[in-house]
Structure 1
Amino acid sequence: MEYNELFARTELLVGSAAMQQIATKKVILFGVGGVGSWCAEGLIRSGIMNLTIVDSDRVALANINRQLPATTKTIGELKVDVLKDRLQEINPNAFITAIPEIYDSESSGSFHLEEYDYIIDAIDSLSNKAHLLVTASKTNAVTISSMGAGLKLDPQKIRVTEFWKVRGCKLAAALREKMKKGEKTAKPILCVYSEEIQKNRGENALNNADENGSFRKARINGTMVQVTAIFGFTLSGLVIQDIIDKSNSETVSSKITEATDANYHKVTV
């Protein structure tokens, strides 16, 4: 199946120049859970051809309510492996690298972040997330991050802004507090977040539903796929929009240059 055939409808919307740019970009995504898995789907269905997905977790029963790789048949399997298989079925020609590892201060160098055009953060460990954002901000890559999607019910409260301007998100507040005591981000980072204030209404719902043993949250919050998926699709949308905007800017800039040169030659001949 040819690239142009798979993404003909997308090309109608964004143009061939933008599609060519989308196909050339290298993207790395950290975390393929309730947010990241949908982000990966959005990227591949939009024409991204080079995607690296990073997550050490295996599918658990408690993931089924919100995570793309999670079904009753995939429990116990590595999320990145399940997701890679799905993404390759969407576009067999896409180059997808699945890394079943945790990003942390010790492993960060192995990911070679400087090689990517876009770095997407969808992990939920506070210290690892802070380290990733600081490290990614030192590269030339565009970095985009998801704040907390737990305890959110209303998709209409989802917003996008720069990291230091996020309000109403406890995760963002905790990250900023941590960075104030240590190293801060070197450049602006766009974030997806929700302004909604919500509380867990259920009790003991997870007593019999095993969460991933590799990283047990100190506090488990309720989640809804209608919110986490929109977080993920918004992350992918921000990447694609940035590529399109830059492609259009370059196209307009080159046209202006060509027109200026043409007029200059007309005058000077």
Structure 2
Amino acid sequence: MPGNPAFHRTELILGEAGMGRLADARVILFGVGGVGSWCAEALVRTGIEHLTIVDSDVICITNLNRQLQTTRANVGKVKVTELAARLGSICPDAQIVPVQEVYNEHTRDSFDIAAYDYVIDAIDSLSYKVDLLATASQADCTVFSAMGAACKLDPTRIRVDSIWNSQGCPLAREVRKRLRRRGVDGDFQCVYSEELLPGSGTHSACGTGECFCPKLRTADGGETAADEWCTKKAQVNGSVAHMTGAFGFFLAGLVVQDVVNRAGDGAGLPD
């Protein structure tokens, strides 16, 4: 990666040692939706060459407003596959591993979390998020997590802090509560917002015959069923690209800054 003309502008900031560390870092990202997709692209465009992206979902037309890999042409296709193809076109030398799998307590053992330097959490599901954070906090890796990016409009109210110090975010509050119940006291940085817009969610037709999502799964009886994730979504919250994207960029920035600051040759981002 150092000396690659495609990354010349980045190397001017990060230095040769920093670029080398980025190329060597192993990152796994859970969730490639409105937050994770932007995070993934920022990482690859900056110089990360070993990236595993995990998501079980397929692309829905309602993803178009905020998810980087979504176009009208690929509705119904696999999110991680579409994103991996895009990332590969940006950096052909990068090893992008797409995993179409949901992370939960039943599948956690299939992910060798300890093999990665960085674990990035951009999962929507609260129970799955907490399980990942509890598991990753016990591994010898650095964890960065996104809290709630939905129901937000003001990017100036985005903050980065310890999960235990975050304020004003209902999701972060619930994550802390559930981590305490599990006896987890490990610390990690999270991206959150103090803003909350009331009345920006709805109990929609998600998972019903009126759902917008592509229905690609055949149930046991032979009938076409809604996507598994949608059937579990009791409420859909409003979200916009400039907020979910900003959360993703913050996560990518935390990884890049941590990698470069460990380079040890004086190159690094300012505090």
For the criterion TM > 0.5, the same-fold answer is yes
Distance 1:110 1:203 in 2: 34
Could you say what secondary structure the match of 1:193 adopts? strand
Verify the 8 A CA contact 1:159 1:193 in the aligned structure 2: yes
Q: Does 1:251 align with 2:251?
A: no
Matches of residues 27-46 of structure 1 in structure 2 within 5 Å? 27-46=27-46
The one-letter code sitting in structure 2 at the alignment partner of 1:190 is: Q
Residue 64 of structure 1: aligned partner? 64
Residue 76 of structure 2: aligned partner? 76
Q: How many residues align?
A: 250
Q: Does 1:210 align with 2:238?
A: no
Matches of residues 9-158 of structure 1 in structure 2 within 5 Å? 9-158=9-158
Matches of residues 181-200 of structure 1 in structure 2 within 5 Å? 181-185=181-185, 187-200=186-199
Matches of residues 211-230 of structure 1 in structure 2 within 5 Å? 213-216=227-230, 217-230=233-246
Mark the CA change 1:194 to 1:202 in structure 2 (over 3 Å): closer, same or farther. Answer: closer
Point out the structure with the larger helix share.
1
What is the RMSD computed on CA atoms of the aligned residues? 2.0
What is the CA distance between 1:203 and its match in structure 2?
Answer: 6.6
After superposition, give the CA deviation of every residue in 1:39-80 in whole Å (9 maximum; x if it has no partner): 000000000000000000000011100001111101000000
Of the structure 1 ranges 170-179 and 57-66, higher mean CA displacement relative to structure 2 is found in 170-179
What is the CA distance between 1:204 and its match in structure 2?
Answer: 7.9
Could you say what secondary structure the match of 2:247 adopts? helix
Mark the CA change 1:49 to 1:195 in structure 2 (over 3 Å): closer, same or farther. Answer: same
Mark the CA change 1:32 to 1:108 in structure 2 (over 3 Å): closer, same or farther. Answer: same
TM-score (norm 1): 0.88
What is the CA distance between 1:171 and its match in structure 2?
Answer: 0.8
Distance 2:138 2:179 in 1: 15
The one-letter code sitting in structure 2 at the alignment partner of 1:132 is: L
List alignment gaps of at least 5 residues for structure 1.
253-269
After superposition, give the CA deviation of every residue in 1:173-213 in whole Å (9 maximum; x if it has no partner): 1111222222314x211000001021235878876533872
Distance 2:204 2:71 in 1: 19
Verify the 8 A CA contact 1:31 1:121 in the aligned structure 2: yes
The one-letter code sitting in structure 2 at the alignment partner of 1:213 is: D
Could you say what secondary structure the match of 2:229 adopts? coil
Of the structure 1 ranges 216-225 and 121-130, higher mean CA displacement relative to structure 2 is found in 216-225
Verify the 8 A CA contact 2:202 2:236 in the aligned structure 1: no
Task: Name the % identity.
Answer: 45
After superposition, give the CA deviation of every residue in 1:189-239 in whole Å (9 maximum; x if it has no partner): 100000102123587887653387222322111001000000001100100
Q: Does 1:240 align with 2:256?
A: yes
The one-letter code sitting in structure 1 at the alignment partner of 2:149 is: A
List alignment gaps of at least 5 residues for structure 2.
215-225, 267-271
Distance 1:16 1:179 in 2: 39
Mark the CA change 1:159 to 1:181 in structure 2 (over 3 Å): closer, same or farther. Answer: same
Could you say what secondary structure the match of 2:74 adopts? coil
Distance 1:119 1:178 in 2: 19
Could you say what secondary structure the match of 1:73 adopts? helix
The one-letter code sitting in structure 2 at the alignment partner of 1:66 is: R
Matches of residues 157-172 of structure 1 in structure 2 within 5 Å? 157-172=157-172
Verify the 8 A CA contact 1:200 1:222 in the aligned structure 2: no
TM-score (norm 2): 0.87
